[in-house]
A and B are shown apart, each in its own frame.
Chain A
Amino acid sequence: SQKIEQNSEALNIQEGKTATLTCNYTNYSPAYLQWYRQDPGRGPVFLLLIRENEKEKRKERLKVTFDTTLKQSLFHITASQPADSATYLCALDRDDKIIFGKGTRLHILP
């Protein structure tokens, strides 16, 4: 069955650099893929949605790519700031359900 893997549990990035997070899936390409941000003890907050036929989506300092050949989505935060420190989750649909990756904890070091 469809599975999601996010590349690492934690990622440390120096302030001002670009943070790149990876989301891989195993089976069929989903029609949509989403990215969420979650702060400790809080509910996830929607960031970006990318469709199967879109290669790239941008929103301010955020960029998401979707490569159906590699079965991978990349999430980039440019000019990273300490306030970007959080856990980032990717999500995709599977049989009318939505499944989430376990997330990557991003730490932006001042």
Chain B
Amino acid sequence: EAQVTQNPRYLITVTGKKLTVTCSQNMNHEYMSWYRQDPGLGLRQIYYSMNVEVTDKGDVPEGYKVSRKEKRNFPLILESPSPNQTSLYFCASSSGLGLNTEAFFGQGTRLTVV
């Protein structure tokens, strides 16, 4: 079954404690991205990757890091989380850049930073 898998689904952490949210896809997609979703602000892109070792900033990259060492994995790293990073996070993948192909989204990670 084609899917994007994120872990964990729920996470509560304290300010400043480094964390990683994993994302893996089994569709051999080249394009992967991370979004955060906040009430009233919608989905906003954090980072995206067009292929292995190629990453670029989205609209809200501050406070986040990503890496793309393998095609299937695209972890999101928060080196020093702060309460304003409390949000619902989604990873997505697609076979092409842009909107000429559909994006597949993970089930989401709800992060709370206290």
Residues of A within 8 A of B (CB): 30-34, 36, 41-46, 49, 51, 89, 91-93, 96-103
**Are A49 and B42 CB-contacts (below 8 A) given A44-B90, A98-B33?**
no
* Contact across chains for B41 and A98 when beta carbons are under 8 A apart: no
Q: Which of B42, B59, B90 contacts A97 (CB 8 A)?
A: B59
Q: Is residue B79 within 8 Å, beta carbon to beta carbon, of the partner chain?
A: no
State the Cβ distance, B58 to closest chain A Cβ, in Å.
Answer: 6
- Report yes or no: A45 in contact with B98, Cβ–Cβ below 8 A: no
Q: How large is the interface on B (under 10, 10 to 19, 20 to 34, 35 or more residues)?
A: 20 to 34
Q: Is the CB of A93 within 8 A of B99?
A: yes
Query: Are the C-beta atoms of B108 and A43 separated by less than 8 Å?
Result: yes
Chain A residue nearest in CB terms to B39: A102
- Which of A30, A42, A46 lies in contact with B103, CB distance below 8 A? A46
Residues of chain A within 8 A of B108, CB atoms compared:
41-43
The list of the 4 closest CB pairs from A to B, nearest first, reads A43-B105, A102-B42, A46-B102, A32-B99
Given A43-B106, A44-B105, A97-B59; A32-B42 close (CB under 8 Å): no
Contact B42 A31 (CB under 8 A): no
Q: Is B14 an interface residue (CB 8 A)?
A: no
A73 to chain B, nearest CB (A): 12
Docked Cα-Cα span, A52 to B59, in Å, equals 24
**In whole angstroms, what is the CA distance A51 to B107 when docked?**
27
B84 within 8 A of partner (CB): no
| A to B CB contacts below 8 Å, 16 in the list | A34-B99, A41-B110, A42-B107, A42-B108, A43-B105, A44-B103, A44-B105, A45-B105, A49-B100, A89-B42, A91-B103, A96-B97, A97-B48, A97-B58, A98-B99, A102-B40
